[in-house]
Amino acid sequence: MGLVDGKVAMVTGAAAGIGRATALKFAGEGARVVVSDIDIEGGEETARMIADAGGQALFVACDTSDADQIDALVAKTVDTYGQLDCACNNAGIEGKIMPLVDQTMDNYDRIMAVNARGTFLCMKAEIAQMLKTGGGAIVNLASVAGLIGFPGLSPYVASKHAVNGMTKNAALEYGKAGIRINSVCPGGIDTRMLDSLAEQATQGAQDSHEMLDPLHPIGRIGVPDEVAGAIVWLSSPAASFVTGINMPVDGGFVAQ
């Protein structure tokens, strides 16, 4: 019996990386999964991977910075599967690396629209639905950049601190309604986003492993499935007394 047997889970940003790994993990632990992303090809591939492994999945295209699209995503989830038990708000972008004075408002606004506004809008729609059915579990994707600073990434750091703050606040507001809300804070994880950051930071001189493996006390960066495991556990009855936390999944990075 899986950790989330019989549950319905929704994952945004599920076309690749941590989102895809999380959707696959939910399905492997017994959930029916709604896969969402603006990347239609990648999202449909994730849904096919779940189906090919014997699970149930539906792909719904969604831009998480658009409230109407998020409302439609939640409505489609409920129309298809009858409920929404678990939600992972994973969609996010990293933007450009540069000192604060050189950051453009376009870069700042785009990052905040997806990472902070998008998480806020997703929680707003998800919680409204979960209140109708007596509870649920939400996990937001933050970052170690939501716990500490990273020079050159002011908008990204601001957006992920916002995610962690909203997580704690929403957990306080809806705990008695049976809705648990947590965040995970990945360190360096082997994804396209990390490759992009490493490319920017070193002008292509180093890949993400060369740059970041030595900075993690465990001796390496992580893989998406390691973050997915934490997300699904937080979403499951096994974590029934856990809410309002910002959990590092970082190989010891913020312990330094």
Tokens 């919680």: give the residue.
127
Identified catalytic residue from 81, 108, 156, 174:
156
Longest Cα separation, the chain: 53
Alpha-carbon distance 28 to 179, whole Å?
23
Residue 108 known to be catalytic? no
Catalogue the E-assigned strands of the chain. Answer: 8-11, 32-37, 57-61, 86-89, 136-141, 179-186, 246-249
DSSP-assigned letters across all residues of 142-208: --GGGTS--TT-HHHHHHHHHHHHHHHHHHHHHGGGTEEEEEEEE-SBSSHHHHHHHHHHHTTSS-H
Which residues are part of the catalytic machinery?
156
